[in-house]
């Protein structure tokens, strides 16, 4: 019985068996190298994630920018208790429960500047009333025991 070979097989028309189809194994060396490369990529990603967490480097928590983002989010929703988590003790009395941020107000958190255990994060505040008014508020943060806190601010 003379059959034509099926596509993908390497058997001659009169053979009664088919040769293995598919790629040849490259051996344990290639497998080991693949595992090593995969592990190296995982280690690199973890290291980059730890050093790129807001530029905080040896910080135990979020970096300065992330602290300001969380503070602004709490202020936007009017959650004074949450906002107080991100400020130094001396600013605690200034955080009051005045309700959420007015809908006529928006903000954009800028790029942090870190100098040792001190950092500055600009926030552009825009208020839409009769006209559009934009001001930049600079949050000054201090790192104590690995945690960044907002300890001062200024309007430029």
Buried b (16+ CB within 10 A) or exposed e, 27-36: eeeeeeeeee
- What confidence score (pLDDT) does residue 60 get? 67
154: β partners: 138
Which structure tokens are listed for 135?
């001001």
Residue 29 has pLDDT above 70, yes or no: no
Beta-strand ranges (E) seen in the chain are 105-109, 113-115, 118-128, 132-144, 147-155
- What confidence score (pLDDT) does residue 134 get? 94
Query: Which range (4-13, 120-129, 131-140) has the least confidence?
Result: 4-13
Give the pTM: 0.61
Domains of the chain: 64-155 (3.10.450.50)
pLDDT, tens digit (0-9, with 9 covering 90-100), for 31-89: 443 444 443 333 333 333 333 444 444 556 899 999 999 999 999 999 999 999 999 99
């Amino acid at each position: 019985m003379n059959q034509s070979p099926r596509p993908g097989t390497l058997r001659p028309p009169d053979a009664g068996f088919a040769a293995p189809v598919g790629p040849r194994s490259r051996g344990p060396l290639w497998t080991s190298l693949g595992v090593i490369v995969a592990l190296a990529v995982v280690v690199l990603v973890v290291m980059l994630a730890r050093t790129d967490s807001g530029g905080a480097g040896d910080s135990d928590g979020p970096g300065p920018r992330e602290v300001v983002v969380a503070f602004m989010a709490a202020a936007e929703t009017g959650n004074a208790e949450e906002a107080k988590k991100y400020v130094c003790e001396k600013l605690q009395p200034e955080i009051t429960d005045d309700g959420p941020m007015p809908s006529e107000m928006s903000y954009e958190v800028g790029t942090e500047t870190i100098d040792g255990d001190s950092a500055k994060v600009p926030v552009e505040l825009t208020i839409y009333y009769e006209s559009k008014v934009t001001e930049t508020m600079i949050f000054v943060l201090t790192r104590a025991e690995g945690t960044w806190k907002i300890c001062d601010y200024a309007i430029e």
